A and B are shown apart, each in its own frame.
Chain A
Amino acid sequence: MAAQEQAIDPIHQFNIERLAHFNVGGVDASFTNASVFMIVVTALVSLLMLAGTSQRSLVPSRMQAAAEMAYEFVAGTVRGSIGHEGMRFFPLVFSLFMFVLFSNMLGLVPYTFTVTSQIIVTFAFAAIVIGTVIVYGVVRNGAHFLHLFVPSGVPALLMPFIVLIEIISFISRPVSLSVRLFANMLAGHITLKVFGGFVALMLGAGGFAAFLAPLPMAAIVLLTAFELLVAVLQAYVFAILTCVYLNDAIHPGH
């Protein structure tokens, strides 16, 4: 009974399993299933970007072409939304994009763990982005960075109201950035799992229900294609919003 319950429990896939216990200075640094997939994602991205480009061919191999495409895609996004000056953040945006993209894609493979379905992971990414925005914005622009909250051309009467809205908007950025990715991954995987559970339950029930079991199976096929789109799209959204926020750090005056 427990095994069957586990098989159709849509939340089970998000559980963190501690595979090895570590405690470093009072901090729980246990090696978990999430750690495994973080390492796998890092290894896959590194494989693409390092092994793929090791030949340095003038005429690229397939893998080198893929690595170059990833490079030029992210570089184009950064240049397009921040400008040439934004290329200093290119490694950060690229690493974020590739890590999120590979996490999302890898998570679609059955029996894998989706690193980005954990709010703490997506929030950590958002914190890195917003932290970079604040630190770089203040270092570069000093007090002028506060112009981010004071748009020009606003009537004095409305100014306090607008400033309040801008501040709330700025504070909500890391929240929206992290929750968007987390919720998309979570919801997609729960939906897939629920439909998968339907198939198992209907087949188990037998009779007419078992006859209808291929229907949720077909839905899973369609949803998997849709989740593939969401996986890529959310990685792109994360990268482009990172660029938009970093743009504020460089050009705070709107």
Chain B
Amino acid sequence: MANDNSGHTTGTQVPGAAGHADVFPPFDANNFAPQLVWLALTFGALYLLMSKIALPRVAGILDARSTKISSELDSAKHIQTQAAEAGRVYEQVLSDGKAHAQTLTQNTQNQMTIESDAKRRALEAELNAKLVAAEKQIAGIRDSAMANVEDIARGAASAIVKQLTGKSPDDDSVAKAVSAARQG
């Protein structure tokens, strides 16, 4: 080491002596110039590489990432509002449908009620008519029966009178007497 240096240094070191013994190497002024030159070269290169290429690139990466994340978050938010909107529309459609179904049911029910009422009424009218006809028939039958009863009564009365008196009464008086007895 010292022997290597001694041949080339400018002469502050004693040739042949141990180099570190007379000058502590970091304080050896002969070593300053080459270190400064190479430090300037290397650090200058590093500074240029970092400031011109590496740091803008990393900044770009970080910026792109944060932009990406925020845009993704934005689109997620957008999709969320869309989903909420769709949900709202769905609820709307559902409640509309429910209301529609309800009115439809109501209408059908009303319709059916009306129809069945009409049918019932028609049926009732028919039945009433039948009832009236039947009553009329019954009344006719009764009247004719009653007329028959008078005839029978008259015949019976004239027969009774003939049996009792031996002579047949005239029809007019028998009729009068029968109707008088029926009235009474």
Contact = CB atoms under 8 A, between A and B. Distances in A.
A18 B39 contact: no
A95 B46 contact: yes
Nearest to B58: A71
A15 B1 contact: yes
Interface of B is mostly: helix
A227 to B, nearest CB: 17
Interface stretch (A6-14, A166-174, A239-247): A6-14
Contact of B37 (A15, A24, A39): A24
Interface residues of A, number: 54
Given A27-B37, A118-B31, A58 B46 contact: no
A193 to B, nearest CB: 12
A58 B1 CA distance: 51
A9 B61 CA distance: 48
A58 B72 CA distance: 13
Given A34-B34, A68-B58, A118 B26 contact: yes
A6 B21 CA distance: 12
A223 interface: no
Contact of A16 (B35, B39, B40, B50): B35
Interface string A56-88: 111010001001100110000000000000000
Interface residues of B, number: 44
Interface stretch (B62-70, B90-98, B103-111, B136-144): B62-70
B1 A28 contact: no
Contact of A9 (B10, B20, B40): B20
B5 interface: yes
Given A32-B31, A42-B45, A11 B24 contact: yes
B36 interface: yes
B16 to A, nearest CB: 13
A239 to B, nearest CB: 13
A119 B26 contact: yes
A109 to B, nearest CB: 18
A39 B46 CA distance: 9
Given A11-B25, A15-B20, A34-B35, A53 B57 contact: yes
Contacts of A254: none
20 contacts: A14-B25, A17-B1, A18-B4, A27-B37, A28-B33, A28-B37, A29-B38, A34-B34, A42-B49, A49-B50, A53-B58, A56-B61, A68-B62, A71-B55, A92-B47, A98-B46, A99-B46, A118-B26, A121-B39, A182-B26
